[in-house]
Amino acid sequence: MKSSRITIKDIARIAEVVPSTVSAVLNGKEKSARISSALSDKIKKIADDMGYQPNSMAVSLRTGKSRIIGLIVENISNPFFALLAKELEDEIYKYHYRILYCSTENNDEKGAGQIKMLYNRQADGFIIAPSSGMNKSIKQLMQTKVPIVLIDRYFPELEVASTLVDNYKGVELGMKHLIEKGYKNIGFISVDINQAHMTEREIAYRNELELAGIKPNEKFQLKINYTIENKKEAIKKFLKENSALDAVFFATNYLCIAGLEAIADLEIQIPTQLAVICFDDHDLFHLFSPKITAVSQPIAEIAKSAVKLLVNQFDTKKYPVRSKEQILLAPKLIVRASS
């Protein structure tokens, strides 16, 4: 790596050919450009010796492809998204793409700005876990024909590819488990948004209660706003007011974290005094909270199928053709021995 960059012009000068010949050789087009293998080898050797590295910006400008994928998630530090980011990195690398990530923090305007930014940067594709109001900005983005895959969350009204975990099924598994175990007063703590992945979980909760012949009690449900500072206190208040609860279902992982803190503060014993189930959990939960039951999302599978859905759109001969395929992966119920 030299201080001043080597360009194909430099190589061309030394090899005494014209830059386009260098370009053809370095792009493996010797055959179609019918360049002698002697010359081709000479050029390759010079490029190698000089430590030539192509300028991706120039390539992108010329070809219109950046080989960058925009990843937009709620928060990259959330273990679920962090694990997903790693799996996506590995998976997308196989296709020679790289990821530029953004955290929306569930802020629709922030997300819209990030879409715009990534589009300006000529992102070749988008993988988005959208916040609840991003349907508008995603709809706009769809008009550009750029490949998009939604993950984790989706909008039923948008015809766009998505990889989801069966949210309904996940809560159903968890609820059936609790009910089988004889729990009757089951609370449900979810995020206060009107977004399909969350409402599906809520509907499953209510349906499963009714299937078990238990009338849902409005008081046993708590919806917490993402932006609320002190989630722990909200949950503490809820638990105190509903001492009849014998089990609680957290619809997402960060609420469960806050909830476990609240439970610790209140010195409630898990699972003897209160059974706990958490959706959206991950390895660390399994390790550190052997007493809570988990609805686990198959993160590696999510990444694999999201990338597949994305590159399918690249491959299409009649590119760009929007894929509308939806992949629904099965969640897994993880019951620890002690619960």
Query: Which residue ranges make up the site for its own copies (CB under 8 A)?
Result: 1-3, 53-58, 60-61, 66, 68, 75-79, 82-83, 85-87, 89-90, 98-103, 116-117, 119-122, 140-141, 143-145, 257, 260-261, 264, 283-285, 287-290
Q: Which does 33 bind (CB under 5 to 8 A by kind): its own copies, DNA, none?
A: DNA
Tell whether residue 8 is a contact of DNA (CB under 7 A): yes
Does 24 bind DNA (CB under 7 A)? Our answer is yes
Q: Which stretch binds DNA (CB under 7 A): 53-61, 155-163, 269-277, 321-329?
A: 53-61
Per CB under 7 A, does 33 bind DNA? yes
- Of 166, 77, 73, 48, the closest CA to residue 126 belongs to 73
Q: Kindly write down the DSSP assignment for every residue of 27-73, as one continuous string.
A: TT-HHHHT--HHHHHHHHHHHHHTT----HHHHHHHHS---EEEEEE
Please give the Cα distance from 184 to 21 (Å, whole number).
76
| Residue span binding DNA (CB under 7 A) among the ranges 62-70, 141-149, 191-199, 292-300 | 62-70
Q: Closest separation between CB of residue 66 and DNA, Å? A: 12
Distance CA 188, CA 199 (A): 12
Instruction: List, in order, residues 6 or more apart from 75 with CB less than 8 Å away.
Output: 81, 103, 104, 105
Q: Considering only CA atoms, which of 112, 111, 161 is closest in space to residue 309?
A: 161
59 near DNA (CB under 7 A): yes
Q: What tokens appear for 239 in the block? A: 């638990």
Residue holding tokens 């206060």?
Answer: 192
The residue type at 150? L
Tell me whether strands 221-224 and 247-250 are parallel, antiparallel or unpaired.
unpaired
Name the β-bridge partners of 125.
69
Q: Is 326 in the site for DNA (CB under 7 A)?
A: no
Of residues 36 and 272, the one with the C-beta less far from DNA:
36
Least spacing, CB of residue 6 vs DNA, in Å: 7
- Whole-number Å distance between alpha carbons of 49 and 185: 73
The encoded tokens of residue 318 equal 């009649």
Question: Which of its own copies, DNA, none lies near 230, with the C-beta cut-off 5 to 8 A by kind?
Answer: none
26 binds DNA (CB under 7 A): yes
By rule CB under 7 A, what count of residues binds DNA? Answer: 29
**Binding segment (CB under 7 A) for DNA, from list 54-62, 100-108, 144-152, 228-236:** 54-62
Nearer to its own copies, 178 or 260 (CB): 260
Please state the closest distance from residue 16 (CB atom) to its own copies, in A.
26
Closest listed residue to residue 175, CA positions, set 146, 205, 202 = 205
Nearest approach in angstroms of CB 285 to its own copies is 8
**C-beta of 164: minimal distance to DNA in Å?**
35
Q: Are 334 and 293 in contact (CB under 8 A)?
A: yes
Residues contributing to the site for DNA (CB under 7 A): 5-9, 17-21, 23-24, 26-27, 33-36, 39, 52-55, 58-59, 61-64
